[in-house]
C-alpha cells in the first residue's frame, strides 16, 4: 500500500494534508520536510535548525507493541532538538486517541498546556482543536514551542494552501495562542 494511503486510512480527514500537498513539500521543501517509511511505518516530519515537528507517525497494527514507534522517536531524539507534535484531544469512545497519548507520555513528551490550537478544516469546514505535545531535551520553554508551532504552521501546514485546497487556512495568530494560566494537562490522567 502507498504511504499516503496508509496515513489517509489512519488519520481523520480534518487532520490530513492532500497527497499533492505532501508530495510538494517533499519535493520543494526537501531541505526541511522528510519521509521515513517501510512496510510497517510512515513518519513524516519537518526538521528545522532549532526543532523537529512530527507531522504524521503511523505504525501498522501488525507491528504495534514491538517497539517500532519507540525506535522512530529515539532516532529523532538523537538529533538533540525539541520535538513537537499535534494530537487530537482524548476521545474516550476512540481508544486509539488514548493509546497515542499514553505512547507519547511513555516517550517523555509533555503537554504544552499554555498553547491553544484551533483551526478550521478546509475539508470539513469545522473548527478542530488540537493539543500540542513536546519533548524538550534542555527543558526548553513553552514559549519556544509556541514560536516553533508558528513556524511549522507557516512553512508546512499553509504551504501553497490555496493551490491545493482552493482556499487559505486562517493566519497563524488566529489559530495559535499562548495563555499564561491555562492549566489543563491532558497527559496527567493517562
CATH topology of domain 3-178: Aminopeptidase (3.40.630)
Q: At 12, give phi and psi (nearest 5°).
A: -60, 150
The per-residue pLDDT for range 61-76, each reduced to its tens digit, is 888 889 999 999 999 9
Helices (H), 116-178: 142-152, 161-165, 172-175
- Convert the pLDDT of each residue in 81-127 to its tens digit: 999 999 987 665 666 767 888 899 999 999 999 999 999 998 888 99
pLDDT value of position 65: 85
- Least confident window among 4-8, 88-92, 174-178, 183-187: 183-187
Break the chain into its structural domains and give their ranges.
Answer: 3-178
Amino acid at each position: 500500500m502507498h504511504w499516503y494511503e496508509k496515513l489517509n486510512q489512519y488519520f481523520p480527514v480534518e487532520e490530513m494534508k492532500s497527497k499533492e500537498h505532501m508530495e510538494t513539500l517533499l519535493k520543494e521543501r526537501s531541505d526541511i520536510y522528510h519521509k521515513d517509511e517501510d512496510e510497517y511505518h510512515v513518519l513524516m516530519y519537518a526538521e528545522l535548525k532549532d526543532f523537529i515537528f512530527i507531522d504524521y507517525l503511523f505504525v501498522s497494527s501488525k507491528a504495534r507493541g514491538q517497539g517500532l514507534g519507540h525506535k522512530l522517536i529515539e532516532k529523532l531524539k538523537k538529533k538533540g532538538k525539541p520535538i513537537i507534535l499535534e494530537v487530537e484531544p482524548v476521545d474516550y469512545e476512540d481508544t486509539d486517541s488514548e493509546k497515542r497519548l499514553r505512547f507519547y507520555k511513555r516517550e517523555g513528551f509533555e503537554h504544552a498546556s499554555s498553547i491553544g490550537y484551533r483551526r478550521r478544516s478546509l475539508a470539513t469546514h469545522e473548527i478542530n482543536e488540537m493539543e500540542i505535545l513536546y519533548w524538550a531535551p534542555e527543558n526548553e520553554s513553552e514559549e519556544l514551542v509556541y514560536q516553533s508551532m508558528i513556524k511549522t504552521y507557516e512553512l508546512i501546514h499553509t504551504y501553497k494552501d490555496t493551490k491545493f485546497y482552493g482556499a487559505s487556512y486562517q493566519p497563524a495568530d488566529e489559530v495559535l495562542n499562548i495563555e499564561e494560566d491555562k492549566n489543563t494537562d491532558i497527559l496527567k490522567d493517562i
